[in-house]
Structures are given as structure tokens and as C-alpha cells.
């Protein structure tokens, strides 16, 4: 039993270190993606300016596109957050509690 517990602890340590490194890498990747997005937004604004659009209008247009994209992503997150409620599990647990209390009486 002690050997099994030691194995479990070693794997838990390895998994936790891997998770930390995965989070660090994800954060660095997110920073890189933000830099790319800023570069693409600037390129789009410069392209619009080169086509004769007023610079202020070009920057506001790119900003508006970014705002709409952000609102869309937030909407998706709100819709997906409903999946985090574990409603079926909570429903099943409440049925189990009721069944136990009825069996006790």
C-alpha cells in the first residue's frame, strides 16, 4: 500500500509540474497571439489609409471590428458557462438525498 501511495504522489507531482508548464506556455502563446492580432489590426488600418480612407475612420473601423469580435467571444463564453453548472449531477444528487431521507423515515 505504501508503494502505491508513493507512486500516486510521484505521478501527482509530475502532473502538477506539467500543468504549471502548460499554463505558462499557454500564457506566452496568448501574448504572442495578441501581438499578432495588433500587427494585423495595424496592417488593416494602414491598408485602409493607403486606399484613401481618413486615418481616424480607419482606426475607428478596426477598433469597431475588434469590439464586435470581443463581444461575440464573450457571448459564446456566457452560453458555454451553462455547461459548468453540472445540472444533471446536481439533480441526481438531490434525488439520492431525497431517497435516503425517505428511506430513513
Instruction: Describe the crossing of helices 2-50 and 55-81 by its angle, rounded to 10 degrees.
Output: 150
Average pLDDT on 91-99 reads: 79
C-alpha cell recorded at residue 92: 441526481
Nearest partner of 57 among 49, 65, 47, judged by Cα: 49
Q: How many CA atoms lie within 13 A of 39 on its CB side?
A: 6
Residue tagged 506539467 (cell numbers): 18
**pLDDT (tens digit per residue) in 13-53:** 999 999 999 999 999 999 999 999 999 999 999 999 999 99
Q: What is the CA radius of gyration of the chain?
A: 26
73 or 98, higher pLDDT: 73
Q: Which pLDDT score, from 0 to 100, does residue 97 have?
A: 74
pTM of the model: 0.67
Distance from first CA to last CA of the chain, Å, rounded? 40
Amino acid at each position: 500500500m505504501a508503494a502505491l501511495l508513493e507512486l500516486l504522489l510521484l505521478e501527482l507531482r509530475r502532473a502538477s509540474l506539467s500543468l504549471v508548464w502548460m499554463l505558462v506556455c499557454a500564457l506566452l502563446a496568448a501574448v504572442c497571439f495578441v501581438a499578432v492580432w495588433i500587427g494585423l489590426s495595424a496592417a488593416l488600418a494602414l491598408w485602409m489609409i493607403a486606399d484613401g480612407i481618413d486615418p481616424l475612420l480607419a482606426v475607428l473601423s478596426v477598433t469597431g471590428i475588434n469590439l464586435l469580435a470581443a463581444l461575440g467571444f464573450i457571448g459564446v463564453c456566457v452560453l458555454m458557462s451553462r455547461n459548468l453548472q453540472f445540472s444533471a449531477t446536481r439533480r441526481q444528487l438531490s434525488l439520492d438525498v431525497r431517497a435516503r431521507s425517505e428511506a430513513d423515515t
